[in-house]
C-alpha cells in the first residue's frame, strides 16, 4: 500500500454509470474529489445529486488544457472510466505527461488487453482493467456446486469459505494445514438455544500430488546417480498407470472397448489362419497387410509357387477378401480421425462430444473472454464445463471445453446430461433471461447466474426472478477500481453473504499504516483476514501466517477484505483491542516454566515477570485481540488453568 499523499485529489474522468458508482464509493474516504466529463451527466444515484462538494469540470479528457483545469497535475489518482476504451487509453498518455506520479486506473475492454499490458510495462503506476472480467470470480462462485460460500485459488493453494456453527469452529491452537480462521465480516450472532454461525476460511493444497515441502535448514540431502533413475521394477507400474489414464473406461465407453477387442481378435485369427503354411511371421505380415486395406500383395505371398488363386482354396481367398474390405474401412476411419484432428487444430472445427449421463456439468452461454476465464476458474477444481458460443471470434476455447454453436444443438446433445450450474453471460439481459427460464425448466435443480452489465440493483432483480443469482459488473468492479486507485492490487472479487469481498495484495513500504503491526492486530484492528504472507527475504509465501508475525518493509501480504475495511486501512483508523482474559491458577502443582513462557509470548515481557499472574488470585489481562485471546485461552486450558474471555465493551456498559 502506498503512503497517503498530502492533499492528493482523486479525479474521475467519465461520469457514466460506472463513474458515478465509483464516485459514490469514494465519498466515505474523506479525500478531495474531482470530476471531468463532456457535459453534466444525469445523476443516477440521488446521493450524488445532493452532494455539492465534488467539483465538475466540463471538457474532453483527451485534451491537456481540460485536464489541467480538472486538477490532474496535482492529483493523487486518476480514474479514466468512459465507455470508450480508445478514449481512456489516449487520455492515460496525456495524464502521465502532466503528472508522472499519479496512480492511473484505465477502463478497457478485452479486445485491447495486449495494448493495456504493454502500457502497464512502459508506464509505472498505470493499471488497465476490464470491469467485465473482474466478475469472473463471482460468476464461478455462483455456479460452483457445494455448500461453501466461496472458493478461491492463490499461489497453488485453494481457500474455501464455509458458513459453520460457531461452536464447531476449530481450536485456535490447531496447527494443521487445513485450519480455520474466523472472518470478522461474516460472523452471525445467535442466542443460547440457537448458536450463531461464523464464516470461516480453510486452506488446502490445490495439487494433492505435490512433493513434500523443502527440507529444513541443516538436513542432509543425499542423491546419487543410481537413485536418479527409477528401479526397473517400477516400469510395469508406470506403464499400467499411463494406460489407465489414457484408455477409456469400459463401463463409460463400451463401444471403444468392443471395437478394440474385435480388432485384436481379427489379428489373432488372421495370424493362425494365414500363417498355417508359412509360419507365424508370414501370417502376421499377411494379416497386417490385409487390415491395411491391401489385397494383391498379401495374396501373392499366400500363393507362393502356386499358379493361380484358385489353388489356395475358395475359403481362404474369400477370407482374404473379407479382411481386405475390413482393412479398407479401418484405413478410412483412421484418415477421417486424422482429418478431424487437423481441422480442429488448424481451423477450430471440432464437434463437441456428448457428455456422459451420470456426470455433472456447468453450462456457460456466450460471454467470450469472460466465459473463458470462468471456465478456467472452474477447471481448477476439476469441474466439467460446457459452452454455447455463437460468435467464436472473441473466445479462447480450451481443448477440454466442448463448445456448441447454438442453444438448440446444446439442448439436443445434453438431453441426458446433468447440469449443476448455468451461466448466462451475453450482453443482452432479456436474451439471458429467456434462455435462463428455458434451461431452468429443463434442469430445475441447477444453479443459475445471470450477468447484468448495466444494472446496478442486481440482487433485488435476482430475488424477483425466483432465486437466480444476478451479478452486476458495475457494483463488483467499482469496489475493485476504488481499491486499485489507492495503490492496492486486487486479485479476486466475489460476493459473500450479500457483500463484496476482495482478495487484495499489499506491499509494505516505509510509512505504511500496516508497517510494524502483527497479523492479529491487522485482522482485529481493520476487520480483514490475512491469507498469505511473503517475507522480504523468502521466496515462498506462507499460507495462513501466524498471528504473532510482525510486518516489515518489502513484505507482501494478501488479505480478504471489504471496501469498508480498506477504507479503515487507508485512513489509519485501527480499532483498539476489545477482549481480556480472566485467569486463575487453582492448583500450584500445574504451574511450570512453559506456562510462564506462554504468558510472556502473549502479554509481552520476560517469563520471570509472569510469576505474579500465577499466584492463585484472579487476574484480568490487558486488552487483547480476539484471535490472540482465544489462542491464549486454549493453551492455558490445556495446562489446567481456569480462564474465560471477557469483552471490554460489556464491562464498560
pLDDT at residue number 61: 93
Cβ–Cβ < 8 Å for 13, 82: yes
Highest mean pLDDT among 110-119, 177-186, 439-448, 510-519: 510-519
**What's the rounded mean pLDDT across residues 380-409?**
68
Q: Say how far apart CA 360 and CA 256 lie, in whole Å.
A: 22
**Residue whose C-alpha is closest to residue 26's, from 49, 50, 9, 44:** 9
Residue 176 banded pLDDT, cuts 50, 70, 90: very low
Judge whether residue 111 has pLDDT over 60: yes
Q: Radius of gyration of the chain from Cα atoms?
A: 33
pLDDT at residue number 142: 84
pLDDT at residue number 190: 44
C-alpha cell at 112: 485491447
Q: Which of 37-51, 78-92, 361-375, 453-467 has the lowest mean pLDDT?
A: 453-467
pLDDT at residue number 354: 53
**What's the rounded mean pLDDT across residues 143-154?**
77
Instruction: Classify residue 466 as left (phi > 0), alpha (psi -120 to 50) or beta.
Output: left
Residue 188 banded pLDDT, cuts 50, 70, 90: very low
Burial of 195 by CB count in 10 Å (0-12 exposed, 13-18 middle, 19+ buried)?
Answer: middle
DSSP E strands in 416-538: the ranges are: 418-424, 447-452, 469-472, 489-496, 499-507, 529-534
Sole residue written with cell 495486449:
114
| Neighbour count for residue 586 (Cβ, 10 Å) | 9
Q: What is the largest CA-CA distance in the chain?
A: 117
pLDDT at residue number 239: 62
Mean pLDDT of the chain: 76
pLDDT in tens, 50-64: 666 788 899 999 999
**Higher model confidence: residue 416 or residue 68?**
68
Cβ–Cβ < 8 Å for 572, 559: no
Cα distance between the two ends of the chain:
37
pLDDT at residue number 92: 92
**What's the rounded mean pLDDT across residues 435-464?**
74
How much is the pTM?
0.69
- What architecture (CATH level 2) is domain 9-130? 3-Layer(aba) Sandwich (3.40)
Judge whether residue 129 has pLDDT over 60: yes
For 272-285, give the DSSP string. HHHTTTT-HHHHHH
Q: Which of 155-169, 182-196, 428-442, 608-622 has the lowest mean pLDDT?
A: 182-196
Q: Which of 133-137, 203-207, 338-342 has the lowest mean pLDDT?
A: 203-207
pLDDT at residue number 45: 77
Residue 72 banded pLDDT, cuts 50, 70, 90: very high
Q: Which of 192-201, 251-260, 372-381, 407-416 has the lowest mean pLDDT?
A: 192-201
**Residue whose C-alpha is closest to residue 72's, from 87, 55, 85, 86:** 55
Q: Say how far apart CA 364 and CA 410 lie, in whole Å.
A: 11
Q: Say how far apart CA 36 and CA 14 lie, in whole Å.
A: 6
For 354-423, give the DSSP string. PPPTT-EEEEEES-THHHHHHHHHHHTTT-EEEEE-S--TT----TTS-EESSHHHHHHHTTT-EEEEEE
Cβ–Cβ < 8 Å for 150, 506: no
β-strands 33-37, 9-13 pairing: parallel
**What's the rounded mean pLDDT across residues 375-390?**
82
Residue 174 banded pLDDT, cuts 50, 70, 90: very low
**Higher model confidence: residue 188 or residue 351?**
351
The angle subtended at Cα 168 by Cα 167 and Cα 174, nearest 5°, is 115
pLDDT in tens, 190-231: 444 444 556 778 776 655 444 433 333 333 333 333 333 444
* Domains in the chain: boundaries: 9-130, 157-205, 254-347, 579-652
SS (H, E, C) 423-440: EECCCCHHHHHHHHHHHH
Judge whether residue 615 has pLDDT over 90: no
Dihedral Cα 418, 420, 425, 431, nearest 10 deg: 60
Q: Say how far apart CA 456 and CA 141 lie, in whole Å.
A: 19
pLDDT at residue number 578: 86
Q: Say how far apart CA 486 and CA 561 lie, in whole Å.
A: 14
Burial of 107 by CB count in 10 Å (0-12 exposed, 13-18 middle, 19+ buried)?
Answer: buried
The angle subtended at Cα 73 by Cα 68 and Cα 76, nearest 5°, is 130
pLDDT at residue number 195: 45
The angle subtended at Cα 235 by Cα 231 and Cα 236, nearest 5°, is 130
Cβ–Cβ < 8 Å for 534, 479: no
For 75-136, give the DSSP string. EEEEEE--S-HHHHHHHHHHHHHH-SSSEEEEE--GGGHHHHHHHHHHSTTEEEE-TTGGGH
Q: Say how far apart CA 390 and CA 367 lie, in whole Å.
A: 10
State percent of the chain over pLDDT 90. 10
What one-character DSSP code corresponds to residue 616? S
Highest mean pLDDT among 43-52, 176-185, 421-430: 421-430
Residue 40 banded pLDDT, cuts 50, 70, 90: confident
pLDDT at residue number 222: 30
pLDDT at residue number 167: 56
pLDDT at residue number 104: 92
Secondary element (H or E) of residue 522:
helix 519-526
pLDDT in tens, 563-614: 888 888 888 888 888 888 888 887 766 677 888 888 888 887 888 888 888 8
**What's the rounded mean pLDDT across residues 386-406?**
63
**Higher model confidence: residue 159 or residue 304?**
159
Phi, psi of 645 (to 5 degrees): -80, 145
The CATH T-level fold of domain 579-652 is: Ribosomal Protein L30; Chain: A, (3.30.1390)
Judge whether residue 185 has pLDDT over 50: no
Highest mean pLDDT among 81-85, 286-290, 386-390: 81-85
Residue 96 banded pLDDT, cuts 50, 70, 90: very high
Amino acid at each position: 500500500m502506498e503512503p497517503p499523499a498530502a492533499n492528493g485529489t482523486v479525479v474521475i474522468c467519465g461520469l457514466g454509470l460506472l463513474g458515478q458508482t465509483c464516485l459514490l464509493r469514494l465519498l466515505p474516504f474523506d479525500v478531495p474529489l474531482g470530476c471531468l466529463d463532456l457535459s453534466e451527466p444525469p445523476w443516477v444515484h440521488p446521493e450524488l445529486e445532493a452532494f455539492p462538494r465534488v467539483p465538475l469540470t466540463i471538457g474532453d479528457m483527451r485534451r491537456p488544457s481540460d485536464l489541467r483545469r480538472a486538477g490532474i497535475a496535482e492529483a493523487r489518482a486518476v480514474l479514466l472510466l468512459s465507455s470508450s476504451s480508445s478514449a481512456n487509453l489516449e487520455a492515460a498518455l496525456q495524464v502521465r505527461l502532466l503528472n508522472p506520479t499519479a496512480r492511473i486506473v484505465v477502463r478497457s475492454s478485452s479486445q485491447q488487453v495486449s495494448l493495456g499490458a504493454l502500457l502497464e510495462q512502459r508506464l509505472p503506476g498505470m493499471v488497465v482493467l476490464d470491469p467485465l472480467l473482474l466478475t469472473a470470480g463471482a460468476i464461478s462462485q455462483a455456479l460452483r456446486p457445494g455448500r461453501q460460500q466461496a472458493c478461491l485459488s492463490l499461489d497453488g493453494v485453494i481457500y474455501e469459505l464455509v458458513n459453520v456453527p460457531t461452536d464447531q469452529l476449530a481450536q485456535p491452537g490447531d496447527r494443521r494445514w487445513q485450519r480455520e480462521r474466523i472472518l470478522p465480516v461474516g460472523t452471525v450472532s445467535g442466542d443460547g438455544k440457537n448458536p450463531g454461525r461464523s464464516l470461516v476460511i480453510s486452506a488446502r493444497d490445490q495439487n494433492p500430488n505435490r512433493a513434500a515441502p523443502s527440507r529444513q535448514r541443516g538436513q542432509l540431502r543425499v542423491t546419487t546417480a543410481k537413485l536418479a533413475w527409477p528401479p526397473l521394477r517400477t516400469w510395469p507400474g508406470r506403464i499400467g498407470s499411463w494406460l489407465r489414464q489414457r484408455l477409456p473406461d469400459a463401463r463409460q465407453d463400451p463401444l471403444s472397448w468392443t471395437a478394440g477387442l474385435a480388432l485384436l481378435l481379427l489379428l489373432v485369427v488372421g495370424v493362425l489362419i494365414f500363417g498355417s503354411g508359412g509360419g507365424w511371421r508370414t501370417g502376421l505380415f499377411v494379416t497386417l497387410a490385409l487390415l491395411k486395406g491391401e489385397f494383391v500383395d498379401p495374396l501373392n505371398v499366400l500363393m507362393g509357387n502356386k499358379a493361380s488363386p484358385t489353388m489356395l482354396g475358395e475359403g481362404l481367398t474369400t477370407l482374404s477378401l473379407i479382411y481386405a474390405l475390413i482393412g479398407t474401412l479401418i484405413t478410412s476411419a483412421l484418415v477421417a480421425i486424422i482429418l478431424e484432428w487437423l481441422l480442429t487444430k488448424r481451423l477450430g472445427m471440432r464437434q463437441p462430444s456428448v457428455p456422459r449421463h451420470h456426470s455433472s456439468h456447468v453450462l456457460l452461454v456466450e460471454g467470450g473472454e469472460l466465459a473463458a476465464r470462468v471456465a478456467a476458474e472452474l477447471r481448477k477444481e476439476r469441474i466439467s464445463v460446457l459452452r454455447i458460443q455463437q460468435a467464436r471470434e472473441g473466445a479462447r476455447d480450451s481443448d477440454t471445453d466442448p463448445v456448441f454453436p447454438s442453444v438448440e444443438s446444446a439442448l439436443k446433445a445434453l438431453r441426458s446430461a446433468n447440469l449443476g450450474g448455468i451461466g448466462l453471460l451475453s450482453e443482452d439481459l432479456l436474451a439471458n433471461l429467456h434462455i435462463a427460464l428455458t434451461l431452468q425448466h429443463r434442469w430445475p435443480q441447477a444453479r443459475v447466474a445471470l450477468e447484468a452489465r448495466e444494472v446496478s440493483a442486481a440482487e433485488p432483480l435476482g430475488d424477483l426472478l425466483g432465486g437466480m443469482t444476478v451479478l452486476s459488473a458495475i457494483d463488483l468492479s467499482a469496489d475493485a477500481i476504488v481499491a486499485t486507485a489507492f495503490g492496492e492490487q486486487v486479485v479476486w472479487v466475489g460476493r459473500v453473504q450479500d457483500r463484496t469481498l476482495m482478495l487484495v495484495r499489499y506491499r509494505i513500504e516505509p510509512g505504511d499504516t500496516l508497517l510494524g503491526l502483527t497479523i492479529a492486530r491487522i485482522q482485529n484492528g481493520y476487520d480483514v483476514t490475512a491469507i498469505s504472507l511473503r517475507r522480504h527475504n523468502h521466496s515462498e509465501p506462507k499460507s495462513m501466517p501466524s498471528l504473532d508475525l510482525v510486518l516489515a518493509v518489502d513484505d507482501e501480504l494478501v488479505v480478504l477484505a471489504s471496501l469498508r475495511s480498506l477504507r479503515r486501512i487507508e485512513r489509519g483508523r485501527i480499532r483498539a483491542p476489545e477482549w481480556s482474559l480472566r485467569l486463575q491458577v487453582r492448583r500450584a502443582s500445574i504451574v511450570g516454566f512453559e506456562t510462564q513462557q506462554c504468558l510472556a509470548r502473549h502479554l509481552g515481557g520476560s517469563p520471570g515477570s509472569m510469576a505474579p499472574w500465577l499466584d492463585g488470585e484472579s487476574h484480568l489481562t490487558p486488552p487483547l485481540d480476539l484471535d490472540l485471546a482465544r489462542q491464549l485461552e486454549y493453551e492455558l486450558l490445556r495446562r489446567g488453568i481456569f480462564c474465560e474471555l471477557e469483552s471490554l465493551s460489556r464491562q464498560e456498559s
